[in-house]
Structure formats: C-alpha cells, structure tokens
Structure 1
Amino acid sequence: MLCGVSLTPDERNAAVLVVGGRHVLSEPDEAYITEDMRDKAYNICREFLSGTWKSISSRDMVFKSVSGGLSNLLYYCSLPETHTPLYGEPSQVLMRMYGQIPSEGSDTTVTESVICTLLSERNLGPKLYGVFPGGRLEEYIPARALTLQQLKDPEISLLISKKLARVHVLQAPLVKEPTWLFNNMNRWLKYARTIKVDTVPIKQQTMAVKLLTVDLAAEVNWLKEFLAKTESPIVFCHNDLQEGNILFMDAPGPKEENMVFIDYEYCAYNYRGFDIANHFCEWMYDYSYPEHPYFKALPGDYPSVEHQRLFIARYLATYTKCLAMTNEPKQPPNMCTVDYVLHEARVFTLASHLFWTLWSIFNAHTSKIKFGYWEYGQARLDAFMELKHDLLQKTSSPGAAPSTNCTPQRVAQP
C-alpha cells in the first residue's frame, strides 16, 4: 500500500504515522523489528538520503515498526534529535518493504513507484526518496487519517468528492484499457481453486468451506455480462478510497488543500462507477475494531440516495471544470448527469463486493497480517448476493442505464 502509514484510535487526535490499509492495529507490531531489519533500513537511508544520515550509526537511528497495511510492512526511520539535516535531506522517512503478498509480480511495484512520483509532482501525494529491491523510501507526512465517522461527515464527504474528481482527470503512464478489475478477480479466482481446506486454520475452516463451495467463477462471469449493460467512463481510479487512505495534513490553509489521498497500490484505469461505488461501500465497514475479525460490518450505513446525489453533483461539477482545462475528450452529456452516475454507483457496488471477496480469499491464504480475511470475504459476498437479488427482483432490465435522452442536470459548483 502506497505513500503513508496506519494509526491507532488513540492516535487520531495527534499528528501520527498513517499507512493505507483496510485494517488498523492498535499498536505498532514490534515483532517485525529485528537487528537485521534495523541495519538494512539504516544502510538504505544512508545510501539514498546521504548528508547527516552518513554521520550516525545504526543504533542512533530512530526505528519503529508501524503495522496496519494488509499488503506490506512499513517502518519509520528518523535522525536522532541531536542531529539536523545538512543539505536539505529529510530528517524522517517511511521505509516500505514489499513481500506480504506473493505472486504480485514486479509490474505492480514499478507502477506504484511511477504513480507515487507522478502524484508528488502534482502535489497530490508524498515524495518518493528512493526505490530499492524489495521496497522504497517515502516522505513522512504528519497527518491524521480520517475516522469512519469523519468519512461520513457531509462537509468532509463533499471535499472527498472534489478531490476524487481531480484524481479522475489525471493522465498516468498506465494501460488505458479497463482490464484491471477482471484481471485481478480472475487471478485471485485461479488461486482460490488451489486452496485446500485442511491448510486453513481450524477456527476458519467452516467459513473457508462456505466461501470456497460457492461457484465464484460463475458469479464473476455473470457480473462481467451484467456490467456490460452499463456504460461507465474509463478514468484513472484510486480503487481503494476508504478512511485510512485519506489524510488531513497538519498545515494552515483550506481543508481541501490539506486533504491527501494515499495508498495508490490498486490504482489503475478503471470504470468511474467502480471508484465511486467502492468509496460508498467503505461507509459500511469499520476497520478499527480491536478484536478478531478486526472489522465490523455496518450494512445499514451505505450512503442515502440524498447524500449520494450531493456527492455526485459536487463530483461532476469539479470533474467538468478540471476537464475543461485539458485537451482530453469530453464525456457524452448523458453520462454527466447525477441520475446516470447514481445508476453507475448502484451497479458497480456489485463489483466492489465481489472484488474484495476474492481479494479476501487470496489474502486469507497468503498474508501474515492479523485480520479476519475469511470473515471479511464472507461479509462482502453476503452483501453481493443480497444486492444482486435486489437488483434482479426490482427492475425489468437490471443492468440497463437510465434513458440516454435525458437533459443533463445542472450541478452545484465546486
């Protein structure tokens, strides 16, 4: 997960380290700190940052492990208080170590580094100080991650909508075809077929059997056909916009300017409807729950239609304004109405649920990070099945978009 670190509930009232992730642990996990790791971090900082870093010893360096991301390990490295930078080098950085999720391939890490650099240049994300085999060095940002309650705050939510619109107009050096969504689901599905239940911890075996006996391949194929009935613009998407990945920097100025999205691990060109729907889904999951399974499902907390309309209206106004300042082709007028995007979000909510179901099954068998992956996968699959049933029951043509002959709605100005 990219450009940031997680926080504890008690730390949310202070400047903290924040790591993107779908789960928050209550304390830094010292189990990941070893002398070998300290020495490795020291040598990396010394080589990439130079300056004062070359004049301290490994034991002098402040070194802490901060857990919370569900993919990688992240460490805080700092000069001791007795030393100050000589040539403008940073006094504190974050070191990210890959490897918690095998088989991701080098393309993912290269993409993350490219995107991190792009966002830094656009003042939309932290700086990248170094890339090395197995990880990278990132800027430390004193910031507060949003709480779930703040994510749902009407004022903050509208700021998020504007920031998301600005992300969607970015041009990134990535494949522009929308293959990311189903490529990932099919890859995780293929891995799920290799899981033997007797390799799952005994306490999770019943739930694993329940998940693995569902014909997930059929659900993926059905979803692909269903989504094809709704035309959704392809844009540069964050794809994981939950409260832990939205920071407020401790700096003067407008709130909007101090809001930063982090953790672009899943970024890709994808369907606009997915990014918006996925964010709405995050209202329903609290990752600060301190006991197993380390999350709490809140199915009744999906945004109201009234709030979705406000969010989408602000998003469209900002997106249109930003797009007007570029040479990019404009979207068809019928796709720029609140009703159309509202429909997109409802349909692509299905995609969000099934995507994270398969992600959970994969991680349940590969990740060493403490989280109830099987339970989370079941929660998302239950939500998928319920919405699928609802859509099929309530509409005669469930995947079809609203009439394309409607007059574009006026939307609130940003």
Structure 2
Amino acid sequence: METQIHVPVGSPVIRKISIFVDEHNVTEGAMKLIKELRPAWDTSHVKTKLFTDGTTNKLVGCYVEDSPEDVVLVRVYGNKTELIVDRDNELKSFQVLHANGCAPRLYCTFQNGICYEFMQGDALGTQDVRDPSLLRLIAKEMARIHAIHAHNGCIPKPNLWIKMRKYFSLVATEFTEEASNIRIQQEVPSKAVLEQEMVWMKEHLSTLGSPVVLCHNDLLCKNIIHNSKEGHVRFIDYEYSSYNYQAFDIGNHFNEFAGITELDYGLYPSREMQMDWLKVYLQAYKLFTNKTEEGSAQKS
C-alpha cells in the first residue's frame, strides 16, 4: 500500500526554469518567466492582473491584448509553505488531473513557484455552491476525479493521518506576545487534548470502510471555477491533492459551505441538500468508474 500518486507513462516532462521570483515584486519576476514561455510576446505590451483570493501564495496573470484568452498564471509559493505542502506531490497531481481533462496545462516550474494555464470562468462563492444546477456540476466533477486511477496498480493508502500528524507537529505551544498566549489557552484545546481527539478519530473512522480515492482535499468555494459558456465546473489548486478517504473530500466540501473569513455554519447544507448532492455524485461515480474500468480492460 502507498500514498504516492503515479504520473501516467508518456506524460510530458515538466520544464524547469532557473528563476527566483521575489514575492514582494511578483510582476518583475513574472516578466522574466514570460520571456521564456512566450518569446513572441513584447513584454512592454504584456498586461498583468494580480489575484487576491489566494490564502498562502501570490498569483499574477499575464496576457497580451491580441490574445486575451491566452493567460499565463505565475504562482509564487508563500514563505515556508513547503512545511505543509508536498510540492512534488502537487506537481504529480497537476499532471494526472490534466491528463484526465480535469486541470489546466502546467507550463513550467521555477525556483519558488509554477506557471500554468488560466482556466476561463468565475470562482464560486458560498451562495453559488448551493445553486441546484451548480451543485450537480460540482458533484459530477468530484466523482470524475475520484474515479481516476493513478496508483500504478498498487493499493492506495489514505494520506489523512500522515498529514494530520505532520500538521500537529507544527503547532506552536508558545507565542512571543503574551496576549496571544492567553487567547490561545482560552479558546483552543491543549495539544494533549487535541492528540487524544486525533487518536480517537483514527480508531473510529479507519474502520468505516470509506473507499480510498484520488481527492482534491481543499474544495473551498474559490477553488471551483464555473465556465458558463462550456457548461461545466473545474477545480483548481492541487496543493493538498492526495489519496484519501472518499467521504473526507465530500465532507470537507460540505464544511466549506460555511465560508473562510466569516464563518456561518447556518450555510452548512441541510440533510435534504446533502442527499440531493450525494445522489448525483453516486450516479456519476458509477458511470465514471465503469468507463475507467472499461478503458483499463481495453489497454490490457
């Protein structure tokens, strides 16, 4: 059993560009990358757009007016994010998802980030994910990803407990500001209590028999792009993608209905909405799983 994602045989080699981009001056570094990726573009005419929705990284889009549909995204990794994000695994997820039509093209990596294709559409909000038509599209797209085989014939192992243990090891117990120490002690359980909860969760949840599939693991609203012209949704940002329990990806998405900065658990999907979502998901998952198995049988 293993947690590693395997890139399909024949996948193109990822281009590596030896450029470091200053996170405080992303545009200047992005222009250096554009010279490599789009040599025909006149950099004096390149337009840029800074995206501000990211929580851990800096993201800028680069394009020229002659071809506004060809937007190159330059993403600079946030400081010390390598402590919580497996960058090699992220690249593998990117390649696997792209090979299956679920992700944009990955143009290159550079010293502290990646460049990739912009996906046309609009990022969703907490009200959008409740819309019946969008809800169906989201459920179908998650099912499509969950049906992907990227484990090279091995039995995939969930990455959940490994990740939780790693995150737990990074939790600070003391802060330089005394006010922070007092607030944390008052509002957050101690590490000992949290560890007991982790042990309890692993003991109980590991026995439920939830299938282990390729998961997105971070399906907040802004990571869902709706292309109204094409009539589909796609998921973006694969930093946390890995093999995990099928039920985790679904439950985590439901939890994201409440939002991020201003939590409102009154927005958590009702039982009726959950059942509608799951019905669409299970029908799509059965369909995609059968297609995957038929494709594997034909290759063999």
State which of 270, 282, 288 in structure 1 corresponds to 2:244.
Answer: 270
Q: Distance in 1 between matches of 2:76 and 2:166?
A: 23
Partner in structure 1 of residue 227 of structure 2: 249
Contact 1:180/1:269 (CA < 8 Å) preserved in 2?
yes
| Structure (1/2) with the larger helix percentage | 1
Cα shift at 1:111:
2.0
Q: Taking every aligned residue pair, what percent have the same amino acid on both sides?
A: 29
Contact 1:33/1:65 (CA < 8 Å) preserved in 2?
no
Contact 2:47/2:63 (CA < 8 Å) preserved in 1?
yes
1:181 equivalent in alignment to 2:160: yes
State which of 158, 170, 174 in structure 2 corresponds to 1:191.
Answer: 170
Cα shift at 1:170:
0.9
Q: Distance in 2 between matches of 1:46 and 1:218?
A: 53
Identify which of structures 1 and 2 has the higher relative contact order when contacts are C-alpha pairs closer than 8 Å and 6+ apart. 2
* Secondary structure of 1:141 counterpart: coil
Contact 1:146/1:246 (CA < 8 Å) preserved in 2?
yes
State which of 266, 270, 277 in structure 2 corresponds to 1:304.
Answer: 270
State which of 272, 290, 299 in structure 2 corresponds to 1:324.
Answer: 290
Partner in structure 2 of residue 50 of structure 1: 39
1:157 equivalent in alignment to 2:142: no
Partner in structure 2 of residue 208 of structure 1: 184
Contact 2:213/2:246 (CA < 8 Å) preserved in 1?
yes
Q: After the TM superposition, which segments of 4 or more aligned residues of structure 1 sit over 4 Å from their partners?
A: 173-176
> Over aligned residues, Cα RMSD in angstroms?
2.7
* Secondary structure of 2:78 counterpart: coil
1:39 equivalent in alignment to 2:16: no
Q: Distance in 1 between matches of 2:43 and 2:139?
A: 45
Q: Deviations over 1:279-335 (max 9, x none)?
A: 11112x223xxxxxxx2222233222222222112111111111112238xxxxxxx
Structure 2 counterpart of 1:50, which letter?
A: P
Cα shift at 1:100:
3.1
Change over 3 Å in CA distance of 1:152–1:73 after alignment to 2: same
TM-score of the pair, normalised by structure 1: 0.59
Change over 3 Å in CA distance of 1:50–1:195 after alignment to 2: farther
Q: Distance in 2 between matches of 1:268 and 1:311?
A: 22
* Secondary structure of 1:274 counterpart: helix
Contact 1:241/1:279 (CA < 8 Å) preserved in 2?
yes
Cα shift at 1:219:
0.9
Partner in structure 2 of residue 70 of structure 1: 55
Q: Which has the larger radius of gyration?
A: 1
Change over 3 Å in CA distance of 1:250–1:309 after alignment to 2: closer
Q: Distance in 1 between matches of 2:207 and 2:30?
A: 50
Cα shift at 1:271:
0.5
State which of 259, 280, 286 in structure 2 corresponds to 1:286.
Answer: 259
* Secondary structure of 1:76 counterpart: strand
Contact 1:32/1:65 (CA < 8 Å) preserved in 2?
no
Q: Deviations over 1:185-221 (max 9, x none)?
A: 11111121x4413357x4x443322325252111111
Change over 3 Å in CA distance of 1:165–1:43 after alignment to 2: same
TM-score of the pair, normalised by structure 2: 0.80
Change over 3 Å in CA distance of 1:102–1:119 after alignment to 2: closer
Contact 2:23/2:76 (CA < 8 Å) preserved in 1?
no
Q: Distance in 1 between matches of 2:216 and 2:103?
A: 12
Q: Distance in 2 between matches of 1:188 and 1:267?
A: 15
Partner in structure 1 of residue 71 of structure 2: 92
Change over 3 Å in CA distance of 1:137–1:212 after alignment to 2: same
* Secondary structure of 1:156 counterpart: helix
Task: Please list, as runs of the form range in 1=range in 2, the aligned pairs for 1:114-153 lying within 5 A after superposition.
Answer: 114-153=92-131
* Secondary structure of 1:259 counterpart: strand
Structure 2: which 5+ residue stretches go unaligned? Answer: 1-21, 295-300
Structure 1 counterpart of 2:147, which letter?
A: V
Cα shift at 1:92:
2.6
Structure 1 counterpart of 2:209, which letter?
A: E
